[in-house]
Structure 1
């Protein structure tokens, strides 16, 4: 099993060049090997998009497109074209989960999400 080496950054390039200049050719040969042994930085989880819209708290997990309105989950589906739709109004699609959540709040008004019946227009 081989792990992919981290991409060469400017800092790594300069460190390798400096090491090669100071210690000769052997260091230049070993630098990529030593660099590959360093732990790679991992991506942090995607942040939550949170806002208050018309008095309702909306939170969107940007990594999974999970949407919550006032802490309750809103069922979200991803369409083949990359847009999103929900059970609140499944006849309209939206570019982002946040746009979809705002439209759901518009449709719900003051009705709690748990009591809302799907809209059949």
Structure 2
């Protein structure tokens, strides 16, 4: 028994193989973002809520902002990374908690205005 030698691939067979490989590579590239989007995303654990009582006032700091006795404190972030507020806008602080404590010092026994209170000038 002698083996029959295989015939060399025809030009058509070579082109078909190359075309199929190109189509598959293009399809894979086009579908990659869709397939990545379907993967479950890893979510970061939210930063723990920082709460404390300072001079009899309840301070809560989280990603949403700062609240003193449940009322929001308007906070601004400076270009250098420090924080300032409308209560004490002449001094900046390194952390939101330091800012909140300084605001409590400045407020004394006065409550922050509620967010819906109109401003009269």
TM-score range, shorter chain: 0.5 to 0.7
Indicate the residue corresponding to 1:75 in structure 2: 74
| Bigger Cα Rg | 2
Indicate the residue corresponding to 1:93 in structure 2: 92
Normalised to the residue count of structure 1, the TM-score between the two structures is 0.60
Indicate the residue corresponding to 2:45 in structure 1: 44
* Number of equivalenced pairs: 80
Which segments of structure 1 move beyond 6 Å, counting only runs of 4 or more?
none
The Cα shift of 1:83 comes to 0.2
CA root-mean-square deviation: 2.0
- Cα distance between partner residues in 2 of 1:3 and 1:78: 35
* 3-state secondary structure, aligned to 1:81: coil
The Cα shift of 1:3 comes to 3.3
Normalised to the residue count of structure 2, the TM-score between the two structures is 0.60
Structure 2's unaligned 5+ residue stretches are 1-32, 115-121
The Cα shift of 1:42 comes to 2.3
